[in-house]
Structure 1
Amino acid sequence: MKFSKHYLAAFISFVIWGFFSLALKPLKAYASLDILFYRVFLCAVIMAVISLFVRVKVLKENVKTFRQMPSEQRKRVTLLTLAGGILLTANWFFFIYVMNHISVKAASFAYLVCPIMTTVIAYFVLNEKLSKWQWAAVSLSIVSCMLLSFSNVADIAYSLIVALSYAFYLVSQRKNVGMDKFLVLTVQIIFSALILLPFYPQYSEALPTEFSFYALIFVIAVLFTIVPLYMNLYALQSVTSSTMGILLYINPLMNFFIALVYFHEPINSIQITAYSLILLSIVVFNERFIFGRRRAALG
């Protein structure tokens, strides 16, 4: 039951992110940096208020826990938490830029490469073992990405940067244990805001005046940032980085569907084949979880 809750949290978080383009595309007229600035600043304020005034008891308990940790563990938690803030900042900026200035499909391609990178990095860094079925799923994913790369060669560099930043975030946070996950995320986002703050006066555009801009930024901050990221960190307490990586395919699959149906971006037979292989790879990778109950009942 405990694993199921963590697995469900991971699944729902990626479903939520699948709808991100619906909130982000209407902001296409605004600079990518501006969207990033206001998204991060608003997230930092919201999460700081929650941690300082709503979750005071949790904050005090975690400060006490942190002080009681051995010196090496404190250094590791601090390093992984701050590194996570840097990786999130990089991932958000490049994703927003690719989504609004390249194409929705290019952004989707980044998250097609990301699961493969996450799985491979987790295998070597975290020593996470994979079954033959799971390696078969990874192979299907590689084939699908190769197919898509033929028609998106110019976008590969952007996609790889987006993919690498989030792959390393997932793997690093799998090792970041001992502290409350919401508090860890709060520190990461506040750190991200501090990184961006010196650049705001020089690189921001004129202060937006449209109510729709702030309404969409609020939706992005809460629904597409705080909620799914917390669910990701919660899921990583039990779900392996490899499984998280493969579940990440839910995001680009939904992005691809929305790009096709809602934004009417062009599609060809190679893309249809590639995305079909990706869907199959999700089922194959998670066959033990999907069909486990049935096998147990038959046994």
Structure 2
Amino acid sequence: MQFSKYYISAVASFVLWGFFSLVLKQLHGYASLDILFYRVFMCAVIMSVISLFVRRRVLRENVEMYKKLPSSVRQRMLLLTFSGGVLLTANWFFFIYVMNNVSVKAASFAYLVCPVMTTVIAFFVLHEKLSKWQWVAVGLSVLSCLLLSFNNIADIAYSLIVAASYAFYLVSQRRNAGFDKFLVLTFQLIFSALILLPFYPSYAASVPTEGVFYGLILVTAVLFTIVPLFLNLYALNGVNSSTMGILLYINPLINFTIALLYFHEPINQYQIVAYSLIIISILVFNEQYLFGRKRSVVVR
């Protein structure tokens, strides 16, 4: 069983995100927009400092590379980079809102829908190929989502918005190749900060004075934003969007376990069956990695 460094990076990023609720729930006393503002602003500052002073040579090399590209390629790269910033901003806001104002399980459900959406979008937009076993895994995933939607109709709209924003982000960044991923992420976070900055004076509450708030925001910015996002973008160099989508199930599985065992949220028989199907779908989708089998590819 051999796993590439890109595959390991993808798994590591989703494992990290699976524990995000432990920190985010401690910020439930603050407005969702405030958490988003300070998270993005802090990320943008940290990434800018690193890119300008620590990775100056990489920045210079990528600027020179950009100048040599045809104008059409430059425009496409800018569109993909900045649209990624918009999608990230939307994803973070809705995720924070759902986590702190609806439920941890509703936020988890969003990332249960997201893998299916990512896989299907990648199939039609990027023409990524799937084996028969991988289509079986997608079918199991759809079934699990249908089971989880029972008695949770009110949460589905929120979940779909969160899921769609990140699914389109993953698919779009698969095409955004050729430049340093850390630098791409830096520009996306700066752009995200610029989007939010005009709204800060009107929609932000009073400036928090508690040191614990800034400590938790720092942990959120570094451990649950910069590191997993960079691992995500790095993984896309060697892992296709469909596989990234299915591996995304690691996040809600950990999240669901925390919601059940730590936050003691109630569970029903549909959820038990659905999450069991999700575990099976992950194993089936990645059977070529787990068992070393050759893929029988479905050509589109």
* Shared fold per TM-score greater than 0.5: yes
Query: Which residue does the alignment assign to 1:122?
Result: 122
Query: Which residue does the alignment assign to 2:204?
Result: 204
Q: CA deviation at 1:165?
A: 0.1
Alignment of 1:168-247 (within 5 A): 168-247=168-247
Q: Distance in 1 between matches of 2:68 and 2:240?
A: 27
Query: Which residue does the alignment assign to 1:100?
Result: 100
2:32 counterpart of 1:32: yes
Q: Distance in 2 between matches of 1:83 and 1:147?
A: 33
TM-score normalised to structure 2 length: 0.97
- Aligned length, in residue pairs: 295
TM-score normalised to structure 1 length: 0.97
Q: Distance in 2 between matches of 1:105 and 1:213?
A: 24
Q: CA deviation at 1:151?
A: 2.2
Query: Which residue does the alignment assign to 1:251?
Result: 251
1:123-163, Cα deviation, whole Å (9 max, x unpaired): 00000010000000000000000000012111000000000
Aligned with 2:189: secondary structure?
helix
Structure 1 pair 170/294, CA: closer, same or farther in 2 (3 Å)?
A: closer
Query: Which residue does the alignment assign to 2:9?
Result: 9
For the 8 Å contact 1:3–1:239, the answer to whether it is kept is no
Sequence identity percentage: 74
Q: CA deviation at 1:104?
A: 0.2
Query: Which residue does the alignment assign to 2:52?
Result: 52
Q: Runs of 5+ in structure 1 lacking a partner?
A: none
Structure 1 pair 294/166, CA: closer, same or farther in 2 (3 Å)?
A: closer
- How much is the aligned-residue C-alpha RMSD, in angstroms? 1.4
Q: CA deviation at 1:180?
A: 0.4
Q: Distance in 2 between matches of 1:120 and 1:227?
A: 27
Q: CA deviation at 1:3?
A: 6.5
Following TM superposition, where does structure 1 have runs of at least 4 consecutive aligned residues deviating by more than 6 angstroms? Answer: none
Q: Distance in 1 between matches of 2:258 and 2:216?
A: 18
Query: Which residue does the alignment assign to 2:298?
Result: none
For the 8 Å contact 1:36–1:93, the answer to whether it is kept is yes
Amino acid of the residue matched to residue 190 of structure 2? I
1:101-124, Cα deviation, whole Å (9 max, x unpaired): 000000000000000000000000
Aligned with 2:75: secondary structure?
helix
Query: Which residue does the alignment assign to 2:110?
Result: 110
